[in-house]
């Protein structure tokens, strides 16, 4: 399963907002666009869709921005993926109206892939936005598990800019 860029960016917006719930001022689209290197106009379209789906509250004008409309611990990744992805047809035979597969009805692969898709979505249903932005448990040693404060692309809860992340080869990225 490969998520579309739309869903990827939707999840980034929601994660950024989830990591910003303690802030007094709302998150600005330009802030997220800069943090992720994404077009502001493209993110605006995504934000409007997320607002229409009931995930975000938008406030226009000076001092405006976006906030989560629901608590981060009530929004699952699986729900967001289901509502932002447009095509769950892993293979042609999943689309019974358009399939020209000559093995349909006799092939066991279709069932195996359907089960895999269901398990994938089930795993995503077990993860909330709050889980994604929470600091890792004490004693966690996995190098990819960093606190939100040190995660590029997410705001620092204390308002301190993210530390640059060193890429292989020595270049830095915020």
Please say whether the beta carbons of 93 and 101 come within 8 A: yes
What pLDDT is recorded for position 63? Answer: 81
pLDDT exceeds cutoff 60 at 159: no
pLDDT tens digits along 40-79:
999 999 999 999 999 999 998 888 899 999 999 999 999 9
DSSP assignment string, 14-61: HHHHHHTTT-SSPBPHHHHHHHHT--HHHHHHHHHHHHHTTSEEEE-S
Please say whether the beta carbons of 163 and 153 come within 8 A: no
* Domains of the chain, earliest start first: 5-137 (1.10.10.10)
CA dist list (Å): 54 to 38, 116, 142: 23, 29, 34
Contacts (Cβ under 8 Å, ≥6 apart) of 39? 33
Q: Read off the tokens for 49.
A: 């869709």
Band of pLDDT at residue 151, cut at 50, 70 and 90: low
């Amino acid at each position: 399963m490969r998520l579309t860029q739309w869903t990827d960016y939707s999840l980034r917006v929601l994660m950024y907002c989830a990591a910003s719930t303690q802030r007094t001022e709302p998150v600005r689209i330009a802030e997220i666009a800069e943090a992720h290197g994404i077009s502001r106009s493209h993110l605006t379209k995504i934000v409007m869709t997320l607002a229409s789906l009931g995930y975000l509250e938008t406030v226009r004008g000076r001092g405006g921005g976006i906030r989560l409309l629901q608590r981060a611990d009530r929004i699952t990744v699986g729900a967001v993926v289901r509502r932002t992805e447009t095509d769950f047809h892993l293979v042609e035979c999943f689309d019974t109206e358009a399939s020209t597969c000559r093995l349909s009805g006799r092939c066991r692969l279709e069932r195996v892939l359907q089960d895999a898709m269901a398990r994938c979505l089930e795993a995503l249903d077990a993860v909330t936005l709050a889980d994604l932005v929470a600091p890792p448990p004490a004693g966690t040693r996995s190098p990819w598990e960093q606190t939100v404060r040190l995660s590029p692309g997410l705001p620092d809860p204390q308002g301190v800019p993210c530390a640059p992340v060193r890429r292989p080869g020595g270049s830095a990225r915020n």
